[in-house]
Structure 1
Amino acid sequence: MQSIPWDGSQITTPGIYRGIPLADYHRPHLCVEVSVSSSMFRNIIAKSPKHAFDKSQLNPAHSSDDEQNESLSLGRFLHSAVAGEPFEHDCVLRPATVGGVAYQGNRKEWRDWKAAQIAAGKFIMSPEMVENAKGMIISLGSFPLVQQGMLNGAPERSLIWRDPRGFWKKARPDQMPNDSGDFVDLKTTRSVLYRDTQRSIIDYGYHQQGAMVLEGARALGMPANSFTLLWVESKPPYCVRAQTLKDEDLARGHALNELAAKMFLDCYRSGVWPGPGDDRPDAEYVDLPDWYRKSVDDRIKFELREAA
């Protein structure tokens, strides 16, 4: 399926689009009806509709400054580098001084400079972050699957399709496979140890993200066979690991997305975005975790001096 160059106007036709700046991609009114990406669904599931709304551009009080941190900037730089874009495409190097003032994040000169960069769609990179990024790129380049072409698909493509319930969905895989249907998403992380990547998948809802990508591909008539996370550590020794999500876990991600979609629509139509306990008329019981209960019971039973 051929990609469609975006002309800057609201999208009315489902398809694979190229040339949509990241800031525009995240706008809820990119399409003629409200549009959502997996980040909305993931935030609803991970926390609550109220938390998701707070982070969304649907919130009139939303600040773009909240969207940028060191991890996000480093990830964005890495994605641009893999896509073959020049550094200046959407990143900017933090200078040594602004207005004659050395870096101090709380100074007005630096706050104004940061706000101007974000307004221009730039991700800020410190010299230290650039050095780490170099190490990450070198490690990725020596990883066997990358050498075999794992990241050779078309980058920066946006899948846009309409949900029959009256809103649009969008997904932006790092690499659009040519015909294999095997999607890859590059992730920066602190650790590629198995237990740590498991935790990251749960914490950040990557099984939901993968399910959304495959749903979009199928909706647009593309092959959709697998979703692989390509991890690279953001600090030395910059280890790399590739992990493909299992179909049963992607199915769980899809089911969670469907649950989130229902909650999103209810909230969007009503204008009410409840928090975890906002709509409860009475106090609720809270249970101590079973593992802690057992620890307490064992400590009392055996008169232990310290927790088991």
Structure 2
Amino acid sequence: MTAATMKDGLHRVVPEEVYHADRGSLSVSGAKLLLPPSCPAKFRWAMDNERKPKKEWDFGHVAHHLILGKGAEFAVLDPAVHGLKADGTMSEKPTATTKWRNAAAEARERGQVPISLSDHSAAEMLAASVLQHPAAGPIFRDGDAEVSLYHTDPETGVQKRGRVDWLEPNGDIDDVKTSTTANPAELVRKFWTLSYFMQAAWYRDLVIALGIAENPRFRFVVVEKEPPFVVTVVEYDDQAIAEGQRLNREAIRLYAECQERGVWPGYSDDVVTISLPGWAAREAEAAVTQQEAEHLIAELEGIYQ
């Protein structure tokens, strides 16, 4: 891993590819990879291997750009232009044509996200839904998009970094999430699984450490990827932020230790004894109890016959 490439502070103009190529600082995504259910070995592999673009990310990247006015550039592919067969007629499956595949590959070579005309239209409607929402819309009227923050942790000397979707003038932070659901009741488990509480704590601590704000809010602007593109703005409570800070500290210390030792361990170097899942163990115990009860009843019935 190379030395840090950026000085501590707030940077408004850091190209996305430069930010993600940084191997001298630790991001919250890296922190998540260091901790269970992942492990340092997976973190190191991710750092040593280039992240390939995934088609399922394309729609979200374009939606982010349309909402924030900044971000990944994109190329709109039209079936009437890029979905033609060799004889010049439109294919029933435009994305399967050679012309479409070539246009998509050329867009990626230029650093652009290829997106179909229909998906681009959907992304425009999604962005409009966010910007017209009574709670989300006003957030994006004033602020800076895609702001990169860097700060060196005084305890370990590890440089932390974060790329904020939207930084408001008062230091509040907002992050756009396209999702299959914007239902708050469902987001509790979904966000827990994705460790988004760690992200909220990480970014808040960066803003505080850099003196941008003393107690910034961190809000997720969640918008569903399917019509009618329902929007919900959510933020974590103090308990969730505290747990995020605890795990972030654990990850930073582990990162520093692994760097110092030059060892990035997997899950275990020893033989691990495993058992049944809790629910299966309870079912097995209940079955044994039922079987014992049936045997006892049979014995008692034999005695009194």
Give the TM interval when normalised to the shorter protein. 0.7 to 0.9
Instruction: Provide the rounded CA distance (Å) in 2 between the counterparts of 1:69 and 1:276.
Output: 30
Q: Which residue of 1 aligns with 2:298?
A: none
How big is the shift at 1:228?
Answer: 1.3
The structure that has the greater radius of gyration is 2
Contact 2:76 2:114 in 1 (8 A): yes
C-alpha change, 1:263 and 1:187, in structure 2 (3 Å) is same
Contact 1:151 1:175 in 2 (8 A): no
Instruction: Provide the rounded CA distance (Å) in 2 between the counterparts of 1:114 and 1:48.
Output: 35
Q: Normalising by structure 1, report the TM-score.
A: 0.78
C-alpha change, 1:113 and 1:150, in structure 2 (3 Å) is closer
Contact 2:148 2:164 in 1 (8 A): yes
Instruction: Provide the rounded CA distance (Å) in 2 between the counterparts of 1:108 and 1:50.
Output: 40
Question: Does 1:159 find its partner at 2:149?
Answer: yes
Instruction: Provide the rounded CA distance (Å) in 1 between the counterparts of 2:73 and 2:112.
Output: 5
Instruction: Provide the rounded CA distance (Å) in 1 between the counterparts of 2:249 and 2:99.
Output: 44
Instruction: Provide the rounded CA distance (Å) in 2 between the counterparts of 1:258 and 1:108.
Output: 50
How many equivalent residue pairs?
A: 276
Question: Does 1:24 find its partner at 2:18?
Answer: yes
| 1:30-45 equivalence runs, <5 A | 34-45=24-35
How big is the shift at 1:125?
Answer: 1.8
Instruction: Provide the rounded CA distance (Å) in 1 between the counterparts of 2:95 and 2:257.
Output: 45
Q: Normalising by structure 2, report the TM-score.
A: 0.79
In the alignment, structure 1 segments of 5+ residues that lack a partner are: 1-8, 304-308
Q: Which residue of 2 aligns with 1:48?
A: 39
Contact 2:177 2:221 in 1 (8 A): yes
Structure number having the greater helix percentage: 2
| 1:74-113 equivalence runs, <5 A | 74-85=59-70, 90-94=73-77, 96=79, 97=82, 102-104=94-96, 110=101
| 1:104-183 equivalence runs, <5 A | 104=96, 110=101, 114=104, 116-149=106-139, 152-164=142-154, 165-179=156-170, 181-183=171-173
| Alignment-mate amino acid for residue 291 of structure 1 | W
Contact 1:98 1:113 in 2 (8 A): no
Question: Does 1:261 find its partner at 2:248?
Answer: no
How big is the shift at 1:206?
Answer: 0.9
How big is the shift at 1:44?
Answer: 1.8
Q: Which residue of 1 aligns with 2:188?
A: 198
Contact 2:184 2:234 in 1 (8 A): no
Instruction: Provide the rounded CA distance (Å) in 2 between the counterparts of 1:152 and 1:79.
Output: 16
How big is the shift at 1:120?
Answer: 3.1
Question: Does 1:247 find its partner at 2:235?
Answer: no
C-alpha change, 1:227 and 1:149, in structure 2 (3 Å) is closer
1:275 to 253, 266, 270: 266
Instruction: Provide the rounded CA distance (Å) in 2 between the counterparts of 1:76 and 1:250.
Output: 27
C-alpha change, 1:197 and 1:63, in structure 2 (3 Å) is same
How big is the shift at 1:270?
Answer: 3.6
Deviations along 1:239-296, one digit per CA (max 9) or x if unpaired, are 111111112211111111111112222333444322223x22xx21113232332233
C-alpha change, 1:272 and 1:128, in structure 2 (3 Å) is farther
| Alignment-mate amino acid for residue 278 of structure 2 | D
**155-164 or 126-135, which deviates more:** 126-135
C-alpha change, 1:126 and 1:267, in structure 2 (3 Å) is farther
Q: Which residue of 1 aligns with 2:296?
A: none
- Identity across the alignment (%): 23
Deviations along 1:82-122, one digit per CA (max 9) or x if unpaired, are 2224x9x61122454389675339x7993x76555334332
Q: Which residue of 1 aligns with 2:280?
A: 292
Contact 2:150 2:161 in 1 (8 A): yes
C-alpha change, 1:185 and 1:272, in structure 2 (3 Å) is same
C-alpha change, 1:109 and 1:178, in structure 2 (3 Å) is closer
Instruction: Provide the rounded CA distance (Å) in 2 between the counterparts of 1:118 and 1:151.
Output: 31
SS of 2:181's partner is coil
Contact 1:173 1:185 in 2 (8 A): yes
The alignment's C-alpha RMSD in Å is 2.8
**183-192 or 284-293, which deviates more:** 284-293
In the alignment, structure 2 segments of 5+ residues that lack a partner are: 87-93, 292-305
| 1:221-240 equivalence runs, <5 A | 221-223=211-213, 224-240=215-231
C-alpha change, 1:200 and 1:151, in structure 2 (3 Å) is farther
